[in-house]
Structure 1
Amino acid sequence: MKFTRLLNRSSRSKSTIESPTGKEYLQSNLKQNIQRVKEALGNSSDIIFREVSLSPSGAQVMGLLYTDGLADQKIINDFVAESVMMDLTDQPQNPLSPSDMFQRLKDFALTIGGIKEFTDFDTLYNSILSGEAVILLDEYDKGVAVSVQGWKDRGVNEPSTESVVRGPHEGFSETLRTNTALVRRKIKDPNLWLESRQIGRVTKTEVAIMFIKGVASDEVIEEVRVRLDRIDIDGILESGYIEELIQDETYTPFPTIKNSERPDVIAAELLEGKVAILVDGTPFVLVVPALFVSFIHAAEDYYQRADISTLVRILRYIGIFITLLFPSLYIAITTFHQEMLPTPLVLGLAAQREGVPIPAFIEALMMEVAFEVLREAGLRMPRVIGPAVSVVGTLVIGQAAVEAGIVSAAMVIVVAVTAISSFIFPSYNMSNTFRMLRLPMMGLAASFGLFGIFVGVIAILLHLCSLRSFGVPYMSPFAPMIALDQKDAIFRFPRWAMFSRPRLISQKNVTRGQKSPSQKPEPRK
């Protein structure tokens, strides 16, 4: 057995050439190259190998390799195999040399775009497994990879997590090229640059960086490149892998990288000078740097009138305080500060809690956990019955708990209002953040009353002001205070007044247009 392994190893070393770096190069023998590919890919049944004779005598042979399901069979038959056969078989009396035939193959025979030349097996494997067709010639040690990708994808559908009433209803898919095309449809500028790289030793996932040259900060672009090139992992299956590996701060509940599945949102972020990171296999595109206000703004804010968008934003900020502090304030006031409430309200709450045997904190904690369990169960259930079960379960459990004397009716109202307010966030990540912070705030309120709430809020604000996203302060334009950027923070100024990009993000090209921004539209007389 040992002698057999040594014999196989020696025969393999003769059929391939290894460089000092360990890279294996193609041989001039076509059959040896095909056999090496079969051994490396385990004779997989979805890898198609075809040998085609290019001369009547059969002296010149071409090999065609591709992956069934990733490559488009129609493109291969119509634009690769047929074109090659018609061109290379129409030769003069004297047959071409392998090098001349290879050059003719690249220049004339292949009528399809996306052709690249290679000499090593690593590039060959990557090309085949990426959906490209590989052409090898006998008696020649180079190959050609042709772009013939044609796998099935989900297509362009409406985003499921960022729905709008007014605005585009198209969302990203799991195909990288489809996603880049959707962004280029929005921004038809030659300065929109795209850089690609492969990340993952096993998956070799295609990751693209997209930015507008001259608008995005060179420092941020270089930092994105450095952090992506520093990733050393066996596989990338979703953009969440990238997000965890390149974020500034690990131990924080607040997201420092934004994600979206809407092309219009990504286009708007690029126009502000940010950098988009697209990952093949996921419809969620990452955007850096991401600020706190970015997670509060929605795409529809820029499609409605300024006054309506401002009102909705104010409601969102009110929703933040309700989501974070409403249960804590109820616990603190009913436990320590009853004198802050009117006497009739205090008597009503006392009457409701007369038969409740547990403290307000335990009561609120039980209701919060029950609601979160129902919420997660509704998400994991089939879509047909998920919403119905979560709604019915909430009503039944809440009513039964009140009638059984486990919780008071006021606590059910507090938890319900808090849960509804948590759905007002456009970003699901930020909603999860305040759901997590709500529990320690309830503990502080139960222990120290309003003093504990004030300490918790101050700690959260200090933590927010210490965060940075790719070098940009997380709380800008509030901290540091930038008066010019307040036009698109809490309030949304009219379009004619939003003439400059965020100052800390885009520091080179800060003006959105050439026309003087100080002139607002004048009404007709």
Structure 2
Amino acid sequence: MTSEKPFVRVRRKLKEAKNHATSQDKKSLLVEDECNPVHELKEYILSSFGQTADLIMENVKIAENEGMLFYLDSAIDKSQLQQTLLNKHTYQPNSHFDLKTEEGIRNYCEQMFGGAGYKLVQTADEVIKEMLNGSFTIAFKSFPLFICIGMPNSNLRQVTEPTSQTVIRGPKDSFVEASSINLTLIRRRIRNANLRFEEFHIGNETKTQVYIGYMNKIANEKIVEEVRKRLTNINVSAIFESGNIEELIVDKTLTVFPLAFNTERPDTVAGQILEGKICIIVDGTPFALLVPAVFTDFFISSEDYYHHYSISSFLRLIRYISFMIVLIVPSAYVGILTYHAELVPTQLLIKIMAQREGVPFPAVVEVLIMEFTFEILREAGIRMPRAVGQTVSIVGALVIGQAAAEAGLISNLMVIIVAITATANFVAPVYSLSAATRILRLILIPIAGFLGLYGVLLGLVVMVAHLASLRSFGVPYLAPIAPLSIKDQRDVFIRFPYWGMRRRPSYLRTAEPIKQQKTGSNTPPDMQRRNDG
């Protein structure tokens, strides 16, 4: 058996036929090739893909009509191809199929590929696009209309539990890298004809599939149109992850705060779509984007709606308190010890100073050393092999912290502060917010070293002013706190009972502001007296 690629063999045989033909035969052969749609498509595909190893081009004969089969071996499901196309009955002559007309080709497709989702295209560019998306193409010499049938490779990661947003109670499925599966996970939760998905192809080289999803008759059409416009205006060479899309579509503002909410949980996306937000699904990544995003979104977990509202409210307050601990505690420690020691009770101050008696560094340097050491350990734990990463990070933190304290480089209280701060940083349900607080914490620490608690307060005022200036697709980032909306406070710092949250967020200006009809909690029936006697 020869090792030549199929398209090389076809080209060689065609060349030999031309060399052995007579002059009259050559003229007719040239005329036939020039008028042959298969020959023109083959040459265009060869010029587009070159000598790539996964391009397959095979001669076929269907219903007494000659043609060719084109597909990329790496992009299609071969087992499905064999079941659908390579079945013997597909190639059996059928006299009632007239493949020389458009109507005849359509009749053939309806009978042979009726459930396979076929497409009839007329240009070579469309054929190339369909092949790259996992389709195979059948071209006939008799008529310039090409059959494209989508059979993308199904060797994908299966739906598993979320890795970055785990919950105790709630759905355990998460998005995967295939956008078709992600759309299915959302559609399974919202069985409503008003759920819309729109497709875009972004990236001059990658042509990455990007979808936006929203609820028609609920979502604000102006926001939907703004999302469409920003996606359409993207002009880059490649898109590989939703983070690339996030940087390109959010408001151009120098900020460390995330202006788009990212999640790998389908239930979170479905719930936010019903609230009136727009989701962005990018093929090749399990993380979807939700816009517009406001600051309070990053303190809300989907699990809050699966527990009793009292427990959910308590946990949500814990998240807000943890955010303030991460920001303030290390810098407040530096400011108090450096400039405001009189604020500390005398007994506590004596113990703190006794521990710091042999420490050779000032408080600000001590805190920065420990913060950077912990960041190194955390990053090493993430990048190292999973089998040893967690062990190295935990053991490394304990050993280094204890050794540094015994050596007199840092105080024991400093180890406690860094541990509390690091633990509180992981309370945030979304990683992008915890990454922002890490940067802000490192900014506030040297400010506290120069200006004390006044510097910390000044830094917080500047941060709040900066948050108030941010916008996410025209929506104020601090909404519904600033501007204040009383009616939207039922699901911000605390969560009201599920039957009490009737309205969608007013800052989204949805077409349908009422989410559910007015109802109340069930009351127990009147106790009936026992039967007499």
TM-score (norm 2): 0.89
1:399 Cα offset (Å): 0.9
Matched AA of 1:47: L
- Of residues 292, 296, 313, the one that matches 1:293 is 296
Alignment-derived partner of residue 266 in structure 1: 269
Alignment-derived partner of residue 233 in structure 2: 230
Matched, 1:45 2:53: yes
Q: Distance in 1 between matches of 2:150 and 2:165?
A: 33
Alignment-derived partner of residue 520 in structure 1: 521
Alignment-derived partner of residue 318 in structure 1: 321
Matched AA of 1:280: D
TM-score (norm 1): 0.91
1:82 Cα offset (Å): 3.3
Matched, 1:79 2:84: yes
Q: Distance in 1 between matches of 2:177 and 2:350?
A: 58
Alignment-derived partner of residue 239 in structure 1: 242
Matched AA of 1:342: P
- CA gap of 1:213–1:29, structure 2 versus 1, over 3 A, is closer
1:99 Cα offset (Å): 4.2
The count of aligned residue pairs is: 493
Matched, 1:335 2:335: no
1:104 Cα offset (Å): 3.0
Matched AA of 2:263: S
Alignment-derived partner of residue 203 in structure 1: 206
1:79–1:112: 8 Å Cα contact kept in structure 2? no
Q: In percent, how many aligned pairs have the same letter?
A: 39
SS at match of 1:216: coil
- CA gap of 1:80–1:330, structure 2 versus 1, over 3 A, is same
Instruction: Please give the per-residue CA displacement for 1:363-393, whole angstroms capped at 9, x wherever unaligned.
Output: 0000000000000000000111001101111
Alignment-derived partner of residue 441 in structure 2: 438
Matched, 1:91 2:95: yes
2:136–2:150: 8 Å Cα contact kept in structure 1? yes
- Structure 1 residue ranges without an equivalent (≥5): 1-25
- CA gap of 1:439–1:458, structure 2 versus 1, over 3 A, is same
2:137–2:148: 8 Å Cα contact kept in structure 1? yes
Alignment-derived partner of residue 188 in structure 1: 191
Instruction: Please give the per-residue CA displacement for 1:214-235, whole angstroms capped at 9, x wherever unaligned.
Output: 1111011000000000001111
1:69–1:151: 8 Å Cα contact kept in structure 2? no
2:212–2:280: 8 Å Cα contact kept in structure 1? yes
- Of residues 402, 424, 427, the one that matches 1:399 is 402
Q: Distance in 1 between matches of 2:357 and 2:106?
A: 91
Q: Distance in 2 between matches of 1:159 and 1:426?
A: 12
Instruction: Please give the per-residue CA displacement for 1:227-263, whole angstroms capped at 9, x wherever unaligned.
Output: 0000011111111110000011341000000010010
1:148 Cα offset (Å): 1.5
2:60–2:68: 8 Å Cα contact kept in structure 1? yes
1:168–1:264: 8 Å Cα contact kept in structure 2? yes
SS at match of 1:136: strand
Q: Distance in 2 between matches of 1:84 and 1:138?
A: 21
SS at match of 1:385: helix
Equivalent residues in 2 for 1:380-399 (5 A)? 380-399=383-402
Q: Distance in 1 between matches of 2:269 and 2:89?
A: 41
Equivalent residues in 2 for 1:487-502 (5 A)? 487-502=490-505
- Of residues 114, 119, 126, the one that matches 1:116 is 119
- Structure 2 residue ranges without an equivalent (≥5): 1-33, 527-533
Matched AA of 1:483: I
Q: Distance in 2 between matches of 1:55 and 1:415?
A: 76
Question: Over aligned residues, Cα RMSD in angstroms?
Answer: 1.7
2:383–2:389: 8 Å Cα contact kept in structure 1? yes
1:266 Cα offset (Å): 0.3
Matched, 1:467 2:470: yes
